[in-house]
Amino acid sequence: METVNPRYDALKNALQRLEEIGKKSKTDIIRDATIQRFEFTYEAAWKALRYHLMEKHGTVCPSPKSCFRGALTVGILTPEQTEMALQMTDDRNLTTHTYDEALADQIYQRILEHYLPLFLLLWQRIKEETDFGVTK
């Protein structure tokens, strides 16, 4: 079932793809693919959040970090989750500009342990505040 907005659909689809790769045994190729899917999911997540904050809360946020802070302000994220989202933004920026094996391994672990659950939580909270009946 499609949602009412393509931004939500993009997030839902990206999350499914990230979850799928996260279940595979780690190899260098799986790690790299996970990081790539993380990048797609991150972009879909903050853009869906930007749309959601504007539509449901009247909050304007021009950047990822401002959107995560906006999510804290309206109660979508807790302070701890917001801090994790801000760290996630820093990690996302690192994956774009540098490539280092040790760093890639660290970010891969954070994706599986922290960022994927955070994306899933964010998606759940958006669904709770939106009147479309999509199940994850």
Q: Are 68 and 48 in contact (CB under 8 A)?
A: no
Of 40, 85, 93, the residue nearest 61 (C-alpha): 85
Q: Is 136 a residue whose pLDDT tops 50?
A: no
Q: Copy the structure tokens of residue 133.
A: 């009946």
Q: Are 92 and 78 in contact (CB under 8 A)?
A: no
Q: Copy the structure tokens of residue 5.
A: 């907005």
Q: Are 19 and 116 in contact (CB under 8 A)?
A: yes
Task: Assign domain 6-129 to its CATH architecture.
Answer: Up-down Bundle (1.20)
User: What pLDDT was estimated at residue 1?
Assistant: 45
User: What pLDDT was estimated at residue 96?
Assistant: 75
User: What pLDDT was estimated at residue 132?
Assistant: 61
User: What pLDDT was estimated at residue 135?
Assistant: 44
Q: Are 3 and 134 in contact (CB under 8 A)?
A: yes
Q: Is 24 a residue whose pLDDT tops 60?
A: yes
User: Which DSSP symbol is given to 112?
Assistant: I
Neighbours of 70 (CB within 10 A): 21
User: What pLDDT was estimated at residue 131?
Assistant: 73
pLDDT tens digit string along 43-95? 999 999 999 999 999 999 999 999 999 999 999 999 999 999 999 999 999 98
pLDDT tens digit string along 88-130? 999 999 987 667 889 999 999 999 999 999 999 999 999 999 8
Mean pLDDT for all residues in the chain:
92
Domain residue ranges in the chain: 6-129
